[in-house]
Amino acid sequence: MKQFNVVRSRVGALPFVVLLASLSSTVPAFGQSASPASPAVTTVAGMPPVPDPSNLYSETTAAKLSPTVAGDLHRVYVPHIQSNDVYVIDPATFQVVDKFKVGLNPQHVVPSWDLRTLWVANNAENTKHGSVTPVDPKSGRPGKPIAVDDPYNMYFSPDGKSAIVVAEAMKRLDFRDPKTMQLQYSIDVPRCAGINHADFSIDGRYVIFTCEFSGTVAKIDLVERKVLGYVQMIQPGRQTKVVKGPDGKDEIICTTWKGMPQDIRASPDGKLYFVADMMADGVHVVDGDAFKQVGFIETGKGTHGLYPSRDGKSLYVANRGSNKIHGSPKGKGGVSVIDFATRKVVANWPIPGGGSPDMGNVSADGKWLWLSGRYDNVVYVFDTATGDVKIIPVGKEPHGLTVWPQPGRYSLGHTGNLR
């Protein structure tokens, strides 16, 4: 069985653990710059080129707003799971300036691949009566909803040809026309209970999804349209054993504990993936090509959302303050900041009096981190220079808010996974 080396250190008062596989010395550090002679990335057909192979976030810096978003309102859109509406905040004044009704159980506000539409994913309590509501970013107003099955979340294929509706309760990904939502084809992911969040390889060939209720991540080949495998996330110190998977291959599983993977984001060079785990209180590290866990970084209680800084040097980690799906207000929530280059926590931003930071994104200029307060019915706005936080009251159970506009050429979905 693979052995792990555990290195412990401290940042302020918060301990963290970096868990590295014995062979992980061959894997470049997060954020490590590629050699100037690094070959260009050969992307899948139709996907935009990768200008900098050492930094897939190179086109999402503060100065790189696309001409496509010129004239779009600068707004923050906040969906509320229980009140079935979206609040609209003016980021210049930090005030709610509008609100509108959408479908049942709106989960995330998702920028389209072409940056022309914001889609509200309404999954209707995991039934077949879900819908997606288009919002015009120039007017900030909703259009007519389109019925789709169980849209917990939504992503877009790197070539822009498909919207990928995450049908969570059905363990299925539905590939749909990105404008009409007409079904193109589906990929079943039978061993991924609670299929959830995703990030894509630097060349667009595969995507890794988290499986919230299986404690695993799933790798899916977008070219061949098939599941390549699953890996269970292991917390340091837990007892493991090797078993045969359904495909006959050896798998390492934990016999005493099951994690709850949430958000996932790629390292700047695209080689590794951070996987937030709400039960492990930290971030797993996965080698994407080899598809194996190679590390772990302890952050805070209820680790949930992951957002790269505008300069691509840091990863903001939202710790929801609870290990429960339905937690209590005023938990031990806050934000941890991980340095990509060292894979270490370099700052911790607590919320005075407690809170529950969940999902969101970074402002276009990189100065503010906007996060929903899932159990506290508020939105948090963290100053990324100081960690100070503003608190804005909103509706009932806010979830996957998005900040708009954001820099980038195209969107891969979620609350603004732009490249």
| pLDDT at residue 136, rounded to an integer | 98
The pair of structure tokens assigned to 72 is 């779009």
C-alpha span between 284 and 33 (Å, rounded): 22
Give the SS3 label for residue 67: helix
| pLDDT at residue 243, rounded to an integer | 74
| pLDDT at residue 261, rounded to an integer | 98
> What is the model's pTM?
0.89
For residue 57, what are the contacts with CB-CB under 8 A and spacing of at least 6? 268, 308, 312, 419
Nearest one of 353, 350, 351, 372 to 361, comparing CA atoms: 372
| pLDDT at residue 126, rounded to an integer | 60
Show pLDDT as tens, one digit a residue, over the chain (419 residues): 333 333 333 333 333 333 333 333 333 343 344 445 567 999 999 999 999 999 999 999 998 999 999 999 999 999 999 999 999 999 999 999 999 999 999 999 999 999 999 999 999 866 678 999 999 999 999 999 999 999 999 999 999 999 999 999 999 999 999 999 999 999 999 999 999 999 999 999 999 999 999 999 999 999 999 999 999 999 887 766 677 766 677 776 666 668 999 999 999 999 999 999 999 999 999 999 999 999 999 999 999 999 999 999 999 999 999 999 989 999 999 999 999 999 999 999 999 999 999 999 999 999 999 999 999 999 999 999 999 999 999 999 999 999 999 999 999 999 999 99
DSSP secondary structure string for all residues of 245-288: -TTS-EEEEESS----EEEEEE-TTSSEEEEEETTTTEEEEEET
**Domains of the chain from N-terminus onward:** 4-23+49-404 (2.130.10.10)
Nearest one of 213, 247, 205, 250 to 233, comparing CA atoms: 213
Q: What angle do CA 48, 41, 164 make, to 5 degrees?
A: 45
| pLDDT at residue 17, rounded to an integer | 35
User: CA 19: distance to chain centroid?
Assistant: 22
| pLDDT at residue 258, rounded to an integer | 82
**What's the CA dihedral at 357, 362, 363, 366 to 10 degrees?**
120
Give the SS3 label for residue 63: coil
C-alpha span between 46 and 261 (Å, rounded): 31
At position 173, the amino acid (one-letter code) is L
C-alpha span between 361 and 33 (Å, rounded): 24
